[in-house]
Structure 1
Amino acid sequence: MNSFQDSLQSLSTGSPPNEEQITALLSANAEQMPALLSAADKARRRGVGDAVHLRAIIEFSNYCRKNCLYCGLRRDNRSLTRYRLTEQQILDAAGEAAALGFRTVVLQSGEDLYYTPTVIARIIERVKNKYDLAVTLSLGEHSRQTYKTWREAGADRYLIKQETADEQLFKRLKPDTSLSRRVQCLCWLGELGYQTGSGNMVGLPGQSLHTLARDILLMRKLDVDMAGIGPFLPHPATPLKNAAPGNLELTLKTLAITRLYLPQTHLPATTALCTLAKDGRRLALSGGANVIMPNLTPPAVRDKYLIYPQKADIGEKPARALADITALLADLGRPLAGDRGHAVKNKPMAYPELA
């Protein structure tokens, strides 16, 4: 069995991680946490630098064909008021992001087939033609041809979380699909030249430290360009409404370890983490994160896109959010990135200061 110190020390060799090694790091106690977070912060500095990238999220539809057990957008949630933004409303929101200085917009929705591949392609083209923005899509599982259509329209990145690398747990949580299908989508996206993003939830019912270790190993194997790591937060209108939420410390450990083993991957300070802890953004940025994703969904519908309850960004005004982010980054001594923030592929890195 690997000890925490042995596992941390092995980073100095740049050798590939194994499940036992990651599990040992996930088992870090309160006294060991500072060393883990410090190592992750150093890995972040070496891998992606000090600059923090902003991505503006536009949640344009909360309709979803899937019935995931944890998600407030699930199709069987009859208590949710559904909405769809028009193409012009999406374009207007992208324009607001550009005016505020964002270099990337994330177009996100439930799996809503109302917007055909052609319509989404047209939206991408209009955003790219009118504004100097990178376009990230987060629209769920589709065919390779659909992904190809959107890539040819100008989409730069695609986010589709694995959620968990445990095949049986995945099937229970997401009965309409499978882990193999999810991984296939990520592989198609990589083949088509997208910058790919995945990620997982920490604290899912039935999850273990070994499950989390396999999550990190899968993301490393896929060589993802971005990984969103946040706590599980139970929604009252889902079958998991009575489950316990994810743990703050374990979420921070998972984020930190992901940084150690994917040194050049973009890691956001997720909204879910900020919902769990008021200072979640600061904690994440101090333990490996280098991306913040403010919400620019129009205020009239923002409170209807609730994957989990009490989202931290529901009432945030974009200008106020940017002011708060700027103040936090100044306090941390971290500059705001001025480029679009395309990732570079991960390479083995040694950490001589740990030797």
Structure 2
Amino acid sequence: MGKIRVLVVDDSAFMRKVVSDILSADPEIEVIDRARNGLECLEKVSQLQPDVITLDIEMPVMNGLEALERLMQTSPLPIVMLSSLTSEGADATIKALELGAFDFVTKPSGPISLDIHKVAEGLLEKVKAAAQAKEKRKKSPLRQIPPAVSAIRQPLKPTPSPSTPLAPAKQAPLAKTGGRVVNLVALGTSTGGPKALQTFLTSLPANLPAAIVIVQHMPAGFTRSLAQRLNSLCEIQVVEAEEGQTVQEGTAYIAPGGYHLEILQSGGVLRTHLELTEPRAGHRPAVDVLFESVSKVANVKKWAIIMTGMGSDGTKGLKLMKETGEVTSIIEDESTSVVFGMPRSAIQAGLADRVVPLDKIAETLQKLLN
């Protein structure tokens, strides 16, 4: 494989230049052109056939979401979105991931970020991962998992706060065990995770006899939008985790961006705990932190799921879970993983009890729970 050919799309001339300079400084990447809006992007994609696109969301003439939707229909290829840290930016980013964007990078200080260098490392990492995913699809096309796409319900606050409750769209039924959790599912995912979570969670019934605690690698300001979006689509209740919540079956709790999520046990009751300790391997929330806390929970049947994502987060925590008690792990198969890093790490460590494609994970879990 030669250099990764990238098209940079942004309405700001400054941002086009700075993003191009960041990418071009890497010997593995070549910026083949730049575009000022979505319409120009479509024209240049047709002419140049880039390997990867970096695509701004807020642009005149045709915005990033409109361009993304057109590209996914006509010329699907890996796209890394550049998003603002606003409530509108978070909503649009979740929508972009549903439409098929590979991943996103946040602009640190608005549409024209003079400090874009702060996210240079993450941008390079995601562009390279996107190119690798493209090569993988050429060799072994992924089975198609149809997304359930509909409008996001309402504007959301930009930054998650442990003290501010997320108003649920529905109330999940209390477990027949008087609120005590019998089955606890701990799930970790990263790149490709929002769409994977949608496929998994929308396949579960409202009366699921398990609580689900989730780490999705995302910065602060985006997980609340993700949780409310999923809640609007799922039969189970999906919330962004808050400090001190009583964990209930039939509910999924997503770690808020910027916080580690731990599950603590007191008097047989499980509660959420949010931590601002140092990131683990660059991640906060980290899957390892969640899994390690679950390893200390007693008198509960434990299930661990690792889905698509870069790196190896979750492997150390899953190893500890297996060393300290009985746990059954379900790992996403390579055939459906957008990025096979996290699942591969767990499999190579000998920690996988079941390896199944994404669209079979919910079915596999329900069979094991029964």
Task: Output the TM-score relative to the length of structure 1.
Answer: 0.32
Greater share of helix residues, 1 or 2? 1
Greater share of strand residues, 1 or 2? 2
Question: Which one has more relative contact order, counting CA pairs under 8 Å at least 6 apart?
Answer: 1
Task: Output the TM-score relative to the length of structure 2.
Answer: 0.31
